Each structure stands twice: as C-alpha cells, then as structure tokens.
Amino acid sequence: MALTEIWHVEHVPHPVLPLWIATDADDRLVYVNLGNSRTRMLAWGMRHDVRLVDETNRQTAAKAQLSEYLAGQRFRFELELRPIGTPFQCAVWRTLAHIPRGETWSYAELASAVGRPSAARAVGHANGRNPLPIVLPCHRVIGRDGSLVGFGGGLAAKRWLLDLESPWRGLALFENAVTSAS
C-alpha cells in the first residue's frame, strides 16, 4: 500500500517539555507529540497512512509559536490546525479551545459545553485522543474534585503547563525563590 501523504516532523526543544510536531504539506499542524519519545507520533502516522519526514532545519509557524508558548512569551496560538478524528472527537477538541487560559474545567463541564452533559466519560476518552495537546488545551481539563488526572505527557507536565498559564505564576515563582533562599 502506498502512503498517501507526507507530514513534516520538527523537534521543539525545551528543558521541561520537549515536543515533536508534525505539519502537513500546507503547513497545518496535524500532531503534537509530548516528550522526547516519538512512539505515539509514529503510531499515529501509521494509523493515518502517512510518511513522516524529519525536517531538522525547517522553521514553521507552529514550531515558533510553540517555542514562544513554552517560554511564557505567547498566550494565544494563530495557527492553521488539522485535527484528525471522528466528528464527536473534533467537537470535543474544538470546545477545548474555549477553555480560557489560567482556568480549568472538569470533564463534566466539558461534556456540558459539548452539548452532551451525560457523556463525561466519552468526552474524557476523546480528550485523551487529542492530537494537538497544548494548542487545543486538554491539560486544562481536571477531575471533578479538582485533582489532576490523565495527560499524555504525564501529570508533572500537566502541572507545569497549568502553572505556566496561571495568573499567579509570578507570585508562585517568587515564593519558590524565597523558599529556596531560606
């Protein structure tokens, strides 16, 4: 079987949360892989019949904007996206984009916002299949009791992302510095 499409793969280096991203021929972001391992990205590419091509010297808008975001210099993405999923999954992922920076929603709140208030579990499953984490901020979804649950990059990465987006981030960093100096 011939592969039908090529995705360009770039590494977004970061000391806490390195990423691998894939863009299609039109430079639309199709996949964000959290961490140094590309296993999930490779499986995703195989499942969608695409060939992944490493582009070490490529500098797309997606790579630049994700680097700025991880450095705390960008608060909103201006990218063309191409999430690939079922209509229900895509509806969940579109809704993620409406969770304001610095806020969190429970799975039940996300299900209500999608128009399926009794489908929190299905919404959680779709959230876990989000191919564009960070850009479509699935890390902003937490357990009903406020606990951090489920994140492909791990709960430490989820906490780090929420702290990065927190309106009190400056205060927390100051408090950590004072505690460390004591």
Q: Which residues are catalytic?
A: 138
* Residue 125 CB contacts under 8 Å (≥ 6 apart), including other chains: none
Residue 174 identity (one-letter amino acid): F
Lookup result for tokens 């590419």? 45
Contact 115, 3 (CB under 8 A): no
E strand or H helix that includes residue 30: strand 29-34
Distance CA 22, CA 131 (A): 10
Helix (H, G, I), strand (E, B) or coil at 52: strand
Phi-psi region of 181 (alpha: psi -120 to 50; beta: other; left: phi over 0): alpha
Distance CA 90, CA 70 (A): 25
